[in-house]
Structure 1
Amino acid sequence: MQRRDFLKSSAAAVISGAAGKGLLARTAKKKPNLLFIFPDQFRVQALGFTGEDPTITPNLNKFARESLNFYNAVSNRPLCSPYRGMLMTGKWPYTTGITTNCNSSQPDIYLRNDEVTFTDALSNADYQIGYLGKWHLDTPRGVPVADHWKKAQWDCYVPPKRRHSIDYWHAYNCKDRHMNPHYWIKDAGEDDKAFFDQYSPIHEAETAEKYIKNEDGKMRDSGKPFALFAAMNPPHPPYHLVPDKYKKLFKDKSLDKLINRPNADRKLAGRIAKDYFAQVAGVDDAFGMIMDALEKSGEKENTIVVFTADHGEMMGSHNRKGKGVIYEESFRIPLMVRWPDKIMPGKDGLHINVPDTMPTLLGLMGLEKHIPKQAEGTDFSKVFEGKEFERPNTSFFISPGSEEIGARGVRSDRYTYEVKLRKGKKQIRLFDRKRDPYQMQNIAYQKKDVAEIMHKELQNWLEKTRDPYAKQYA
């Protein structure tokens, strides 16, 4: 198989699948608002309309019918802080230095003040900006450096000078208190965090409702467009911290009904499945509340709504839980974009990487000139116009490590390819997701021609991202 033929056929399939979709016309008379909702650890298989996990997501199902769904979207480094770093800066983890989670075990990993972020760009375009929920881009200061992440401090006060132009702050750095969350609100001082006896997604949805309605004019300047980021922590662990009303939805479900993936360890998945699906139902409820508030406000038609997530959840697949790996359950994420009468609903197979998100949305909003010059992602806003353009053949996977340990990989329409380093030795894996959707058979040595093509794609990504360990994966 020739590489150009392999990649050409792959790209052609995606382009033809996107034909006729996208932006109908840029007819907005004023700048659109942006509502960006991204719960933590919400795997794409948990969207009810996919027919994969047996979840209950009526609001997200409805939203999907109204949106352009990017079904090849991934989280390049499937971990909380690295995703947020890529989203906010449009840069790769080795450029920002945010290669792993921010906490006191690695105090040099945080979002730096001199970065020009998504929120800075929106502020420069005269937007009012709100942020609700989990930030996880700062690190506790003035505390002992922990010798292991399990002993580290994670939560901290983020002073206004480190909030990157966000006007309305109702957030915390990182604390998994789903049923009794706390927040620093607006200009509250470090000792003035507010606690709420409420499920955090519902509290944040109610706060989003108030922000959108802005009845007293205290949340934002009504004369300006707004951009609101809602970063819900669930369905992130601890899974059991979820209201009983959502637990009851799955209480009587058998494991046979809940765990339908043949690659999942039933014992491991069974420990968390009911509570994880309950968390998903709670997030769906909260999402529905925000959508209702937007519609009642009269701003629905002039608001771009994005639903995505920072990474997925393995839930027993490949005998794993959590995230951070190249398997579909961890690597792929939801990404749906709605703009009524501007974006035609449908599906698109664009291999969109996280650093592309910010420039693509700024392009869609007509704010191309505000895309930071330092951004490394690509503006793919032409996808919303239904036009043909040069598309990437693959998306890129990163698990940092060192010269001795780590992983890099690429994902095409059909194949997933990974090179792992273990004590400096390479382990190569190739999965054909068309024939093996659960990635259970490594065919790297049976399909050497495909592996060679995918390895060349990997080398291209290593060069493009200026990966400091490129030689180890060559």
Structure 2
Amino acid sequence: MKNKFEKAFNTYALLLCILLMASCNGQKKNTATEPQNTGRPNVLVILTDQWRAQATGYAGDPNINTPNLDELEASSVNFKNAVSGMPVCSPFRASLITGQRPLTHGVFMNDVQLDTNAVTIAKVFNKEGYDTGYIGKWHLDGHGRLQNVAPGKRRQGFKFWKGNECTHDYNKSVYYDNDNPDRMVWDGYDTFEQTDATIDFVNNRNKADNPYMMILSYGTPHAPYHTAPEEYRNMFDPANIQLRRNVPDSLKTQVKKDLAGYYAHIAALDDMIGKLITNLKNTGQFENTIIVFTADHGDLLGSHGAYKKQQPYEESARVPMLYHIPKRFKIASGEQDALMNSEDIMPTLLSLCDIEIPNTVEGLDYRSYMEGKEKIGDVTLLTCVQPFGQWNKVQHNAREYRAVKTQQYTYARSLNGPWLLFDNINDPYQLNNLVGNEGAAAIQDDLEKILSERLKATGDEFLPGLDYIKKWGYPIDKTGTVPYTN
């Protein structure tokens, strides 16, 4: 009897050991999907091109559903009044990676090169042991579009590279792969291909000891508006598009058509944002990754009778700005009123990663604001140096300007004096210019004083645009202007 009992017991014990070992092995296999909540956070910046703040589901646009972006917004700090301080491509990008204003870093127009000796976000993160990467549109090299941004100083510190200087051909577009000098082509719609390349980068970093800082720079939803995949274009009928109240009758038919294409790009982007976030969750990285979603500027798309950007109107200057921050930071999600600007992104990210902010940086660090410890961002500057170009001409109401934006007002001064004053709360479509209005005289005087103080504090003499172009030695063609594209 004793032998039978011992035999049965040993068999039971052996089975128990096998089950325990299987359980342990199963836990080991699943560690990649468990949240990694310790150590320094990863950073993923999702940068889009020409996505105006109003064009999201969470912002109330009646024409577009953005379920993935809405879900991200629900778990993020939403700077609902964020702006692009100089609302055009290259200036924003240079401010993003230097933390400086355009008249400091010198990229106050498109298609000029950022100083290769600049102190950039990638160089700082590199010194702290981060793996840095850049995928997509660059637009900071100034050596001609579709050209290779050669490895070395011209990539401003980014180590991993799959990008191009600039292209708006989103189907089979050109890029360069790390150190390979050969021109490569994305197989299909580059929004999809760049997303997959980012996922590959993230997954390859998942087992690495070092955290990463990646900027994914999409070219969409910038024009051309009608080149998204057919399945997305078929989602939007121009006849059903609801226009903003500041689109003039003469443009309504064209704007409805273009908005349908614009929203098609956005719908595709929203799907890709969902794909990125799903991958971060599946690999256990979501709660150890700071995600910033933003755009370099907006798009007027017919509002105020104009297209594209650079003007101080809401559709041009205001951009989406979401910060998903891991829960362990104990920063509450939700809307914030502060007017975060382009140069504020770099210092805020460095601060969140406990990295010292270089003294070259001019932007504000918003970490303490998000923690509820400091009140900043009640007013910010908007700047335009260049009143020319194929779409930003004087006949389209373009001009050099300096503007201040508060949580309620936008006030702009041109070289000829006060130009625009809008009450953005009571006049959200900016239809009523209050400059010279007797009832708004005190408000205008206060804003003029604030603007003058800001210009003095930043050393901005507010000169004609060509004075800055000559100062920086940028080329001027035979017509007396600068070759400039969109």
TM-score scaled to structure 1, two decimals?
0.84
Q: Distance in 1 between matches of 2:445 and 2:146?
A: 44
Q: Distance in 2 between matches of 1:310 and 1:98?
A: 14
- Which residue number corresponds to residue 398 of structure 1? 383
Is residue 277 of structure 2 the alignment partner of residue 277 of structure 1?
Answer: no
What are the superposed Cα offsets for residues 9-40 of structure 1, whole Å, 9 maximum, x if unpaired?
xxxxxxxxxxxxxxxxxx96311000100110
- Which residue number corresponds to residue 260 of structure 1? 243
* Corresponding letter in the other structure for 2:302: G
1:453 to 425, 446, 451: 446
Q: Distance in 2 between matches of 1:286 and 1:353?
A: 25
- Which residue number corresponds to residue 164 of structure 1? 156
- Which residue number corresponds to residue 432 of structure 2? 441
Q: Distance in 2 between matches of 1:40 and 1:305?
A: 17
Correspondence list, 1:302-451, <5 A: 302-341=288-327, 342=329, 343-367=331-355, 369=356, 371-387=357-373, 389-401=374-386, 406-421=400-415, 425-446=416-437, 447-451=440-444
- Which residue number corresponds to residue 82 of structure 2? 73
Q: Distance in 1 between matches of 2:202 and 2:377?
A: 36
Q: Distance in 2 between matches of 1:188 and 1:460?
A: 49
CA RMSD in angstroms, aligned pairs only: 1.9
2:114 to 111, 115, 140: 111
- Which residue number corresponds to residue 120 of structure 1? 123
Query: How many Å apart are 1:427 and its aligned residue?
Result: 4.3
Query: How many Å apart are 1:137 and its aligned residue?
Result: 0.2
Flag the 1:51–1:288 CA change in 2: closer, same or farther, 3 A: same
The answer to whether the 8 A contact 1:268-1:319 is kept is: no
Query: How many Å apart are 1:471 and its aligned residue?
Result: 10
Aligned length: 412
Q: Distance in 1 between matches of 2:177 and 2:138?
A: 13
Runs of 4+ in structure 1 off by over 6 angstroms are: none
Q: Distance in 1 between matches of 2:333 and 2:366?
A: 17
For the residue of structure 1 that corresponds to 2:78, the secondary structure is strand
Query: How many Å apart are 1:328 and its aligned residue?
Result: 0.5
Correspondence list, 1:123-138, <5 A: 123-138=126-141
* Corresponding letter in the other structure for 2:358: P
Is residue 84 of structure 2 the alignment partner of residue 82 of structure 1?
Answer: no
The answer to whether the 8 A contact 1:304-1:339 is kept is: yes
The answer to whether the 8 A contact 1:462-1:470 is kept is: no
- Which residue number corresponds to residue 47 of structure 1? 56
What are the superposed Cα offsets for residues 348-382 of structure 1, whole Å, 9 maximum, x if unpaired?
11121111110011111111x2x221111121210
For the residue of structure 2 that corresponds to 1:39, the secondary structure is strand
The answer to whether the 8 A contact 1:139-1:155 is kept is: no
- Runs of 5+ unmatched residues, structure 1: 1-26, 103-108, 141-152
Query: How many Å apart are 1:270 and its aligned residue?
Result: 2.1
Q: Distance in 2 between matches of 1:385 and 1:157?
A: 42
Q: Distance in 2 between matches of 1:471 and 1:54?
A: 40
The answer to whether the 8 A contact 2:418-2:435 is kept is: no
- Which residue number corresponds to residue 36 of structure 1? 45
TM-score scaled to structure 2, two decimals?
0.82
Q: Distance in 2 between matches of 1:351 and 1:247?
A: 34
- Which residue number corresponds to residue 188 of structure 2? 198
The answer to whether the 8 A contact 1:138-1:156 is kept is: no
What are the superposed Cα offsets for residues 127-179 of structure 1, whole Å, 9 maximum, x if unpaired?
00111100000012xxxxxxxxxxxx433211111112212100001011101
Query: How many Å apart are 1:220 and its aligned residue?
Result: 8.8
* Corresponding letter in the other structure for 2:335: K
The answer to whether the 8 A contact 2:300-2:306 is kept is: yes
Q: Distance in 1 between matches of 2:106 and 2:66?
A: 36
Flag the 1:363–1:248 CA change in 2: closer, same or farther, 3 A: same
- Which residue number corresponds to residue 9 of structure 2? none
Q: Distance in 2 between matches of 1:445 and 1:340?
A: 48
What are the superposed Cα offsets for residues 237-272 of structure 1, whole Å, 9 maximum, x if unpaired?
111111001001113x52xx4133110131341231
Is residue 171 of structure 2 the alignment partner of residue 179 of structure 1?
Answer: yes
Q: Distance in 1 between matches of 2:159 and 2:280?
A: 20
Query: Higher relative contact order by CA 8 Å / sep ≥ 6: 1 or 2?
Result: 1
- Which residue number corresponds to residue 106 of structure 1? none
* Corresponding letter in the other structure for 1:163: R
Query: How many Å apart are 1:228 and its aligned residue?
Result: 1.0
Is residue 284 of structure 2 the alignment partner of residue 298 of structure 1?
Answer: yes
- Which residue number corresponds to residue 16 of structure 1? none
Q: Distance in 2 between matches of 1:468 and 1:456?
A: 15
